[in-house]
Structure 1
Amino acid sequence: MSWIGEVDTKRWIFRLKMERQEILRFISRLLTCLLAILALTDTANALLPDYIKVCKKSDPKSNQCILNSIQELRPKLLKGIPELNVPSLEPLNIPEIKFSSGPQAAKFDATLSNIVVRGPGSFIIRELRADLKNNVFDFNLLLPQLFFEGDYKLDVKILLLPIRGAGKIHGNFTEYTAEVHMPGNKIKRDGEEYLELEKMQMKIKVGKTQIRLSNLFDGDPILGEATNRILNENSKIFIEEISPVLEDTLANLFTAIANRITLTFTYKELFPEN
């Protein structure tokens, strides 16, 4: 073989090696891209945490599915979900409630402050009707027990008996129910659709009520005990005054928590078609 042919052969071998390296580099880049795509896909699928259960719009039992999802989510709501910026359901703080009503012969003037409510996290949804076409949710809510405590200042006349005092108030509400209506609207953000819920409309139905006021009549045990008994026998007056504030406070709390979830994930993620 002439030296020219030998040089050509060496060039061909060198060129073949270079092309082989280019092919290997291309395959390596392709595999890298595929792995990146798979990683992105896994990340996208992982955006919806496992404690949020998806309910398909086409599911004929979507009402039960949503109800089950809420019940499974309840333990998380009780403690709060920091990654979604969702506060804990308890304790519920109400800074102040003021009442002033009734004629002079049966007046009811009171101020409650620094109120701490426990028990909202034990809520149970007994019936749910979801209209996913119009994004309207109606349900019956049971609040098995609500405990509250705070400070009171009272000037009340019940059965012509004047009751005045200031001190601590403790209350226990059991078996309270509420009919709830919550409409929602689809909104667009960054090209994606999200569900934004309007403030829920809540009407509480009274169950059993126990109230205890301390330091009535400057702490007189006999008058205090008798007055607490009279107050509990006529607790309907108290409940009629406190219910609108309790309804509004609970409605604001539940609506805010629901929107923290529905505005974090897209509508398709929460309610896929199939």
Structure 2
Amino acid sequence: MFTPQFDDCIKDAINSARPFFTTGVPEYSIPPFDPWYADEVNQVRSGYKLKLKHVKEAGWQQSTITKFRANLEAGYIKFSQFFPEKYLEGEYITEAGGTTKGVWNMTLCKYLL
């Protein structure tokens, strides 16, 4: 872990595991997470409330970790991840002087996180 090769080793390991993002690894009870799903995501800010329901996010399997740096003594990890295409969709309810409901979707192309 405390070698100059550690960061590249972890980056390569995560990237080589991408085929399992859509299938999971049943023999280790690891479920798939592409697409990722959340029943509900809430955000409350001064002046409005936003509730996202039935959120689906896809595109993880095509992503690539481009940079990875760990400082285990300090307890942090920094990384960059590239998504050729990332797709999100769901339903929304907003409250800001009234209530609005509907469906939403977003496609991000060539997205670098």
TM superposition score normalised by structure 2: 0.72
Identity of aligned residues (%): 20
Question: 1:66 and 2:7 equivalent?
Answer: no
Q: For 1:80, what is the secondary structure of its paired residue?
A: coil
Given the alignment, which residue of 132, 137, 142 partners 2:81? Answer: 142
- Pick closer, same or farther for the CA change 1:122–1:156 going to 2, 3 Å: farther
* Higher helix fraction (1 or 2): 1
1:203 aligns to what?
Answer: none
Given the alignment, which residue of 61, 64, 67 partners 1:124? Answer: 64
Q: For 1:128, what is the secondary structure of its paired residue?
A: strand
1:14 aligns to what?
Answer: none
Q: CA RMSD in A?
A: 3.0
Q: CA deviation at 1:142?
A: 1.6
C-alpha separation between the residues in 2 aligned to 1:120 and 1:168? 22
C-alpha separation between the residues in 1 aligned to 2:55 and 2:26? 24
Map 1:36-55 onto structure 2 (within 5 A). Answer: none
C-alpha separation between the residues in 1 aligned to 2:23 and 2:5? 29
C-alpha separation between the residues in 1 aligned to 2:75 and 2:106? 34
Bigger Cα Rg: 1
1:167 aligns to what?
Answer: 102
C-alpha separation between the residues in 2 aligned to 1:100 and 1:130? 32
Alpha-carbon contact 1:146-1:173 (below 8 Å) kept: yes
Q: For 1:89, what is the secondary structure of its paired residue?
A: coil
TM superposition score normalised by structure 1: 0.34
- Report the number of matched residues: 111
Alpha-carbon contact 1:118-1:146 (below 8 Å) kept: yes
Q: CA deviation at 1:85?
A: 1.2
CA deviation string 1:3-22 (max 9, x = no partner): xxxxxxxxxxxxxxxxxxxx
C-alpha separation between the residues in 2 aligned to 1:86 and 1:173? 27
Alpha-carbon contact 1:120-1:143 (below 8 Å) kept: no
Amino acid at match of 2:80: L
Q: CA deviation at 1:138?
A: 2.0
Alpha-carbon contact 2:57-2:87 (below 8 Å) kept: yes
Alpha-carbon contact 2:44-2:50 (below 8 Å) kept: yes
Q: For 1:168, what is the secondary structure of its paired residue?
A: strand
- Pick closer, same or farther for the CA change 1:78–1:137 going to 2, 3 Å: farther
CA deviation string 1:231-270 (max 9, x = no partner): xxxxxxxxxxxxxxxxxxxxxxxxxxxxxxxxxxxxxxxx
Higher relative contact order (CA 8 A, sep 6+): 2
* Higher strand fraction (1 or 2): 2
